């Protein structure tokens, strides 16, 4: 008979197989069927102290709750809070609190592009003028802004809130990057209309080389659905003013 794998090895092997994804003690206990849960806590604390895994507050890739999480790999994002945040504050219905949404997107970006992303990184947008973007890849090739708006209670388009997204669009057009992404946590009105689709339809003419994502949160990171609502196009001002210039 083969040697029985220890709980420590079960945890390590699982986290290595899910490199970059983060799991809280409760989810590890359920997934690996290790009980009582206190065993997970003790083993993960020991592995963290020995530098075998990372362990800090963050967003669990499985249950989407903000708590102590464990993972193997580089610490690619900074936790958005150091304080305790209740699940009621983070998850409102089927939507994530906007800070938790940013963490979710950061994890998604890391898995999709296999790149380290910095949070709230300042980039130059004009003479002696800088703007903090939500996420910027380490090599500067990808710049991302996140938005989490909903239709108004009366079912109207949230024009006042959308004005901040238009401001971000302006700043995105002021930088050089191979990929510029505006990510919305999508919302639907009583008619079934996507807030992101309406936004793109209204403002397509000024979005230039910006890609727009409609992000729908699933039960876990692996079950999230991301739809490209708009593909990047040519920069209008470059096409008009730089045509024929060497």
Question: What domains, with CATH codes, occur in the chain?
Answer: 1-75 (1.10.10.10), 96-246 (3.40.1350)
> Would you place residue 135 in the very low, low, confident or very high pLDDT band (cuts 50, 70, 90)?
very high
Helices (H), the chain: 7-17, 25-32, 37-49, 87-90, 98-113, 159-172, 195-207, 236-241
Closest-CA residue to 181 (of 78, 90, 99, 106): 106
Q: Tens digit of pLDDT for each residue in 151-183?
A: 998 999 999 999 999 999 999 999 999 999 999
84 versus 38: the higher-pLDDT residue is 38
pLDDT of residue 236 exceeding 90: no
Phi, psi angle pair for 238, to nearest 5°: -70, -40
131 versus 58: the higher-pLDDT residue is 131
Q: What is the DSSP letter of 116?
A: -
Closest-CA residue to 135 (of 91, 97, 104): 104
90-100: average pLDDT? 66
How far are the Cα atoms of 48, 198, 218 from residue 185, in angstroms, in the given order?
A: 33, 13, 11
Closest-CA residue to 123 (of 105, 107, 108, 135): 135
Query: Distance between CA 191 and CA 232 in Å, rounded?
Result: 28
C-alpha 72: how far from its chain's center?
18
29-57: average pLDDT? 92
32 versus 61: the higher-pLDDT residue is 32
pLDDT at 107: 86
Tokens of 73: 């790999």
Q: Of 8-17, 58-67, 80-89, 160-169, where does mean pLDDT reach its minimum?
A: 80-89
Claim: this prediction has a pTM higher than 0.75: no
3-state secondary structure of 136: strand
> Would you place residue 87 in the very low, low, confident or very high pLDDT band (cuts 50, 70, 90)?
very low
């Amino acid at each position: 008979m083969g040697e029985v794998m220890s709980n420590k090895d079960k945890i390590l092997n699982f986290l290595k197989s899910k490199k970059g994804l983060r799991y809280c003690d409760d989810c590890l206990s359920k997934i690996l069927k290790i009980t009582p849960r206190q065993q997970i806590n003790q083993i993960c604390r020991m592995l963290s102290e020995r530098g075998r895994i990372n362990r800090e507050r963050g967003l669990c890739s499985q249950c989407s709750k903000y708590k102590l999480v464990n993972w193997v790999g580089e610490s690619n994002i900074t936790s958005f809070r150091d304080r305790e945040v209740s699940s009621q504050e983070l998850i409102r219905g089927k939507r994530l609190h906007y800070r938790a949404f940013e963490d979710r997107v950061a994890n998604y970006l890391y898995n999709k592009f296999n790149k380290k992303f910095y949070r709230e990184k300042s980039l130059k947008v004009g003479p002696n003028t800088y703007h903090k973007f939500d996420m910027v890849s380490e090599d500067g090739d990808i710049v991302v802004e996140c938005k989490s708006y909903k239709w108004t209670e009366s079912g109207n388009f949230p024009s006042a809130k959308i004005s901040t997204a238009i401001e971000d669009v302006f700043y995105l057009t002021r930088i050089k990057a191979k990929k510029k992404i505006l990510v919305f946590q999508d919302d639907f009105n009583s008619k079934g209309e996507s807030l992101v689709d309406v936004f793109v339809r209204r403002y397509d003419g000024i979005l230039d080389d910006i890609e727009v994502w409609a992000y729908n949160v699933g039960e876990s990171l692996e079950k999230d659905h991301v739809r490209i609502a708009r593909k990047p196009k040519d920069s209008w001002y470059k096409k008009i003013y730089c045509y024929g210039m060497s």
